[in-house]
């Protein structure tokens, strides 16, 4: 790679399709970002994780799409050199200046499409933070349900700030700590409460009425979750995972009500957590 190739990439202008431009605009706003270049670079790196090649035979999209200069899209010479090197390595063959421009646009478009689908129209920043924090928790040997709940509740606050924090925490558990599912539940809850003053505020008592109508308790547990917990609680040596609803077990573990261990036979079994064992059904039948 030569310096002129990098400088040429920085001096070029790049244009998205109208569809890509719409995605960039919406994702930037949902993520609380002022400038679109940060999210654009996230899109480039996201696309580079996909091993499928970007065709250079397809000409760059014209029309009325978003235009960004290379100095803005790729940044200063140092970061730009790294990005260009990554794009050329991904291509795995010689790249001309014209090819490079087409590749950059192609990765930009594909990355925006990927992160739009992953974020579900929400904040990309929150999604990345959630992934990083979740991975860190897994590396440390487990997931802390309270921390996960509060992270999802905080992410909901960006879009549903009118919902009190306790309601957002309930929604985090209703969504089983998944931000996308929690967002859907929040929209549905607001629609069902339908406050008459137009503010669409939802109190905790109103939220509980809606949750009860959905067949959920204060912990977001379904009837199936409760039955799974009864089985776990009533088992002396642990309930075998092959006899339980694995989705419920995972959710109960993240709530802090159950733990999964390996018994003397090398089988994975679910047991009530120390808290659940000490407090009994009152700790989860609420």
Query: Counting beta carbons within 10 angstroms of the beta carbon of residue 133, is it exposed (0 to 12), middle (13 to 18) or buried (19 or more)?
Result: middle
Residue 140: what pLDDT? Answer: 40
Identify the domain boundary among 92, 119, 146.
119
Laid out side by side, the sheet with 239-240 consists of 239-240, 268-272, 258-262
Is residue 205 domain-shared with residue 240, that is, in the same domain? no
Q: Which two tokens stand for residue 235?
A: 């088992």
CATH number, domain at 245? 1.10.10.10
Identify the domain boundary among 119, 139, 165.
119
In this structure, the dihedral spanned by the alpha carbons of residues 30, 36, 38 and 44, taken in order and rounded to 10 degrees, is 100
Residue 171: what pLDDT? Answer: 93
Domain for residue 252, yes or no? Answer: yes
CATH number, domain at 102? 1.10.1220.160
Domain for residue 68, yes or no? Answer: yes
Is residue 207 domain-shared with residue 249, that is, in the same domain? no
Query: What is each CA distance from 280 to 37, 173, 179, 274, 284, in whole angstroms?
Result: 53, 20, 30, 10, 8
Domain count, the chain: 3
Domain for residue 87, yes or no? Answer: yes
Look up the pTM and report it: 0.50
Domain for residue 218, yes or no? Answer: no
Q: Which two tokens stand for residue 265?
A: 């036979």
| Contact call for residues 215 and 223 (beta carbons, < 8 A) | yes
Is residue 103 domain-shared with residue 21, that is, in the same domain? yes
Identify the domain boundary among 189, 213, 237.
213
Domain that holds residue 242: 223-283
Confidence of residue 196 (pLDDT cuts 50, 70, 90): very low
- Give tens-digit pLDDT for 72-124: 999 888 888 989 999 998 887 888 888 999 999 999 999 998 888 777 666 77
Is residue 109 domain-shared with residue 158, that is, in the same domain? no
Confidence of residue 62 (pLDDT cuts 50, 70, 90): low
Is residue 9 domain-shared with residue 115, that is, in the same domain? yes
């Amino acid at each position: 790679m030569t310096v002129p190739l990098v400088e040429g990439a920085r001096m070029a202008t790049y244009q998205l399709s109208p569809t890509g431009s719409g995605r960039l605009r919406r994702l930037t706003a949902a993520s609380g970002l002022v400038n679109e270049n940060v999210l654009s670079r996230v899109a480039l790196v996201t696309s580079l994780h996909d091993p499928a090649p970007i065709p250079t035979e397809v000409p760059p999209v014209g029309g009325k799409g978003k235009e960004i200069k290379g100095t803005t899209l790729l940044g200063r010479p140092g970061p730009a050199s790294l990005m260009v090197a990554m794009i050329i390595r991904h291509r795995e063959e010689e790249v001309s200046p014209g090819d490079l421009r087409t590749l950059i646009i192609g990765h930009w478009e594909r990355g925006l499409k990927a992160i739009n689908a992953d974020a579900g129209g929400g904040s990309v920043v929150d999604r990345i933070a959630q992934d990083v924090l979740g991975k860190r928790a897994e590396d440390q040997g487990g997931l802390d349900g309270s921390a996960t709940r509060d992270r999802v509740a905080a992410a909901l606050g960006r879009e549903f700030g009118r919902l009190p924090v306790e309601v957002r925490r309930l929604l985090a558990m209703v969504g089983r700590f998944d931000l996308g599912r929690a967002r859907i539940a929040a929209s549905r809850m607001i629609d069902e409460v339908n406050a008459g003053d137009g503010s669409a505020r939802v109190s905790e008592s109103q939220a509980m009425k809606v949750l009860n109508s959905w067949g959920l308790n204060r912990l977001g547990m379904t009837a199936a979750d409760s039955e799974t917990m009864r089985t776990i609680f009533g088992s002396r040596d642990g309930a075998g995972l092959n006899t339980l609803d694995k989705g419920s077990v995972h959710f109960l573990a993240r709530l802090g009500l159950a733990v999964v261990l390996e018994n003397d036979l090398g089988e994975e079994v679910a047991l009530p957590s120390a808290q659940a064992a000490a407090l009994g059904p009152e700790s989860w039948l609420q």
